Structures are given as structure tokens and as C-alpha cells.
Amino acid sequence: MKDDRFFIRSILEDLARIRKFIDGLNYAGFKKDNKTQYAVFKAFENIGEAVKNISADLRQRHKKVPWKEIAGLRDKLIHGYFGIEEKIIWTAAKKEAVVLKTLFLEIKKEEKWEIKN
């Protein structure tokens, strides 16, 4: 069985991928680039799936993380709520991903885990 460390590492890796995917793009460029949109979409989907696998114990210890909201974004994406606009994904990639990275790095530090990120 995979442990919380595995899922936190996976989340940090996907957050790093998102940064690479959008590096050098503005919103207009992102909106035209279907491959990048899809890659960012899938990375957020993966993050949401990883969050759903994190133990209740870890979630309880780290209440600053918006666990339900992260999982909720994943649900909106995976269940095909086609009303999701590029702007929402773009904003999540530009702003929320930075905040999430900070929060998950804090978990790594507080748990004293050695995880490459």
C-alpha cells in the first residue's frame, strides 16, 4: 500500500510539471495551446486523485490545506463538467499551484520527510 509520502511526492511533482507547462505563456498563449491545457488539466486531476488517497490522520494534522477544494476541482475535471473554462484552469495554474506548493512543502518539512521536489 502506498503511504502519504508517496502521494505528497506525486503532488509536488505534478505542481512542478504545471509550472513547466505554463512557463513563458500568457493567458492568450495558453488559450490557444490545447496540448498545454490538457497537460495542466491532467496534472490537476492527478493532484486531486492523490489528495483523495491521503490519510485522514495527515489531513487532520495539516488543516491549512484546502483538501476538499482540491478534491472538488478534480471531481469537476474528471466528471466532465464541460463548463470548466480555460480561465479557471489558467488561474489555478498561475496562482493556486504556487500556494499549494508552499502548503505541501510545509507538510514535507513538518513531517520531516526526505522527498525530492
**Nearest one of 98, 88, 94, 86 to 33, comparing CA atoms:** 86
φ and ψ at residue 23, rounded to 5 degrees:
-55, 125
Q: Is 5 a catalytic residue?
A: no
Among the listed residues 9, 17, 62, 79, the single catalytic one is 79
Q: CB–CB of 11/47 below 8 Å?
A: yes
Q: Is 62 a catalytic residue?
A: no
Among the listed residues 5, 9, 61, 74, the single catalytic one is 74
| Active site amino acids | 74, 79
